Chain A
Amino acid sequence: MLARVANNLFWMGRYIERSEHIARYMHVNYFSSLDAPNELSRSRQFVLNSMLRMIGDPEAKENEVLNEEEVLFKLALDPAHPFSILSNVKYARENANSARDLISTDLYESINKFYHFVLKYPEQHFLKKGLYDFCINIIEMSSILRGRIRSTLLHDEVYAIIMLGVNLERANQLIRIINAKYHDALNAQGSYGDKFSKSFEWTTLLKCAESYDMMRRFYKKTPTSLTTLEFLILNPNCPRSMMNSFNQIYTHIRVLDNSFKYDKDSTAFLVGRVRAEYQYKYVEEIEGNIKEYIEAMLKNLADIGNKMENEFFHY
């Protein structure tokens, strides 16, 4: 496979995954805040700030009042904003375009339809009453894309590259969401005697990662900081967890590089090393030091991304 095209497919995977996470974060936060147990979590400003933090936008300056419609538009339909869902879907399609000869007609058609759906979504409808409809459609369509990736592509290098993009992005988004909700939990504590460890925000965090129901099934208890982090970071059976993403990344990098010789400069080696580290970690180590761990995990992912780029996409 051409190095340039591999790079494009990798990013196609990332953009598809990214759109879904933004959409889910938006609607979960928005709707959970409506009847949140404490005042701060119910505050519009609090929620809007959290959304901006999640997509990496600098937060509002102190005393600046955020306009709800502006923020929602920015995240969803703003063509001028590179992090908006519209931009993400547009990039995903452009990347797919350049690799059209490698992916299935089915997959291409779905991406194309996805793009036209977002492009044509009426702005006013979205702002006034379409938030839920829009977000759910984005989530559903990205699921369709993932389904078509799995069921209509040959499970070869092309597939591995796309899945690397999907999983690396999923891990990245998860950490961003954890980071955003960790901040929210810190900010929200104390207002109604809520303790950090039992903050309502952990529930929201699980919902943002589409893991709430499964988490309840697994622990059968109200989420706390400890159980939430354990489930989302270390549980390999949770399909959205960091650990699961690392396992997937490891499987797919092995398709590209199946040599088992000792090569400490290879991407596969680095992925294996990072994976091993989390595989045998105590959640208490993380919980005590969340901030530090978030930074470390982000660095791990960035290192893997850079290594991949040099090893496979450098042309």
Chain B
Amino acid sequence: MPKEDSTIFSSYQRDPSLFDEIYDKKGQVKEVYKTLFQLYGGHSIPDYMTLNEKARSSFFNQGITFQVYDDKQMQEKIFPFDLFPRIIDGKEWEIIEKGAIQRSRALNLFLWDIYHEKKILKQGVVPLELISSSENYLHQMMDVDPPGGIYNHISGTDIIKHNDGKYYVLEDNIRCPSGVSYVICNRTALKRALFGVFNHYETHTVTNYAENLLDLLESVKPHGADVPNTVVITPGMYNSAFYEHSYLAKTMGVELVEGRDLFVENDFVYMRTIKGPEKVDIIYRRIDDQFLDPLEFRADSSLGVPGLFSAYKKGNVTLANAPGTGVADDKAVYTYMPEIIKYYLDETPILNNVHTYHCSRPKELAYVLDHIHELVIKPVDEAGGYGISIGNRLTKKEIATVKKQIQEHPRKYVAQPIMSLSVHPTYIDETNSFEQRHVDLRTFTILGKDKDFVLKGGLTRVALKKGNLIVNSSQGGGSKDTWVLK
């Protein structure tokens, strides 16, 4: 036994008000974490510091970096990675997986409906304003039948565990959810650093994502494409997610293209190769709707492909996700998820939704204004954790500002009770020890024609600043490998 005071866990402090993922209700280390806890506890601090440094340089050498601009100089940074994995046991995972598929299916039916008969709106189940005031609702998509009937091929569902021990969904990301490449890189980095720990657990692989993605994309190929030609389209190598785009293209074995590599002729899409034009059938697009086609959307966009939309409308090419899918990722739609699931699937939600107050409704607006200190205020249409105010962290002056903003544009804001994200031991550089940090989980779901797939694993994001609840990488978050046990 190593001496208590020399190990990295010896100074681990537990705040009883937080839900710690590795302890059970009685305060004992959970069965699934026991071995891991012992294995990690056996490392001395310098030993662990070396491992951590190695993992870091592994990311750096692989070029798994994103670019940050400060003081005019471009810097490459790695997405901070924590070597202590998060474990989800098989039974618990089953619920997450079913819940994620249920949501994706329901959202797909919702999208089909609002771009066709609009029954859910006509019956008043959800308000017309969800689409009439959404900038992401594309009238161009009216009555367009996407190949295979799928809109949201790829979804990223953000899930947390509240201090009641239950999972809640915070967001369904169905525009261009990113992060899946980090899931796989995290696994690789952990294996390189601490391969021994895998011998004690039976963990599901995460490297099968790309093959499933290609398989499901090909299941929604356009008519007449017997052997479909798939590509990934990226805004270019200066995009912060470029690594992921190239990773996905490479692991699927397909071309990574930019808009300028494609052109449309007679409503078919072609790419410019060294041997002349080659037809393209399926496009996994990582550019936003507004940039897809300068002839139909933003005319100043050079990222897209002129004429792409008409080729899509003719059914000659599959776009994943379908244009106009973004409307269902508005935070306002999220708040109606229980109704949407009930309406289309006649089921109750498997994963909980956080109760949401709509500032557009006068009664709820009044409640929100009175209870700001115990609510999280979110703008409806911002991504990446921007513009979020957490009530109990605000000064009086800030509360007044937030109130004013809400009153000026009530439709722009929703409010939710402050959810307490569960915490997980995380190695902290500054103190060279493990501390509790808040975590969430992004899962990745793929829908195809009559099939679906959820990656068994996911991106556990960690808010590295003490007490911080915002886990987004753009706001200083890190991540962990996530093990789903067999």
Contact = CB atoms under 8 A, between A and B. Distances in A.
Nearest to B255: A2
9 contacts: A2-B257, A3-B261, A3-B273, A3-B274, A5-B261, A101-B256, A157-B274, A161-B274, A315-B260
Nearest to A102: B250
Interface string A69-81: 0000000000000
Given A100-B246, A101-B250, A2 B273 contact: yes
Contacts of B243: 100
B62 interface: yes
Nearest to A96: B63
B393 interface: no
Contact of B237 (A2, A97, A105): A97
B274 A100 contact: no
B126 to A, nearest CB: 40
Interface string B2-16: 000000000000000
B463 interface: no
Interface string B51-73: 00000000011110000000000
Interface stretch (A107-115, A184-192, A209-217, A218-226): A107-115
A144 to B, nearest CB: 13
B274 A101 contact: no
A191 B243 CA distance: 58
* 9 pairs of A and B residues whose beta carbons are closest in the complex: A101-B249, A101-B250, A100-B246, A315-B272, A312-B274, A101-B256, A112-B63, A101-B246, A6-B274
A65 interface: no
A5 B261 CA distance: 9
A98 B258 CA distance: 10
B279 to A, nearest CB: 14
A112 B78 CA distance: 14
A167 B271 CA distance: 28
Interface string B252-284: 001111101100000000011110000000000
Interface of A: 1-6, 94, 97-98, 100-102, 105, 108-109, 112-113, 116, 157, 161, 256, 312-313, 315
B273 A1 contact: yes
Contacts of A3: 261, 272-274
Contacts of A100: 63, 243, 246-247, 250, 256
Contacts of A102: 250
Contacts of B256: 5, 100-101
A315 B261 contact: yes
A1 B61 contact: no
Contacts of A109: 61-63
Given A98-B237, A101-B255, A1 B63 contact: no
A2 B261 contact: yes
Interface in B11-69: 60-63
Contacts of A6: 273-274
Interface in B209-257: 232, 237, 242-243, 246-247, 249-250, 254-257
Contact of A112 (B61, B232, B237, B254): B61
Nearest to B271: A2
A98 B271 CA distance: 16
B166 to A, nearest CB: 40
A110 to B, nearest CB: 9
Given A97-B242, A101-B250, 12 more contacts: A1-B255, A2-B255, A2-B271, A4-B272, A6-B273, A6-B274, A94-B237, A101-B246, A101-B247, A105-B62, A109-B62, A312-B274
A4 B247 CA distance: 19
Nearest to A119: B76
A240 B200 CA distance: 54
B137 to A, nearest CB: 33
Contact of A1 (B62, B260, B274): B274
B4 to A, nearest CB: 40
* Chain A contact surface mostly: helix
A7 to B, nearest CB: 9
B64 to A, nearest CB: 10
B272 A108 contact: no
Contact of B63 (A5, A97, A98, A256): A97
Contacts of A5: 255-256, 261
A108 B242 CA distance: 15
Contacts of B254: 101
Contacts of B273: 1-3, 6
B272 A2 contact: yes
A129 B254 CA distance: 47
A47 to B, nearest CB: 34
A120 to B, nearest CB: 11
A256 B60 contact: no
Nearest to A98: B237
Contacts of B258: 4
A168 B6 CA distance: 59
Nearest to A108: B63
A312 B276 CA distance: 8
Contacts of B271: 2
B106 to A, nearest CB: 34
Determine which residue in A2, A5, A313, A315 has the highest number of CB atoms from chain B within 10 A of its CB, and name it. Answer: A2
A313 B261 CA distance: 11
A109 B243 CA distance: 13
B186 to A, nearest CB: 16
Interface in B63-117: 63
Given A2-B261, A97-B237, A100-B246, A116 B274 contact: no
A224 B258 CA distance: 53
A216 B306 CA distance: 61
Contacts of A157: 274
Contacts of A4: 258, 260-261, 272
Contacts of A113: 61
Contacts of B257: 2
A114 to B, nearest CB: 10
Contacts of A108: 62-63
Determine which residue in A100, A102, A108, A256 has the highest number of CB atoms from chain B within 10 A of its CB, and name it. Answer: A100
B250 A313 contact: no
A223 to B, nearest CB: 41
Contacts of B249: 101
Contacts of B250: 100-102
A98 B236 CA distance: 8
A236 to B, nearest CB: 28
B120 to A, nearest CB: 40
A227 to B, nearest CB: 41
B62 A116 contact: no
Contacts of B272: 2-4, 315
A203 B256 CA distance: 47
A115 to B, nearest CB: 9
A255 to B, nearest CB: 11
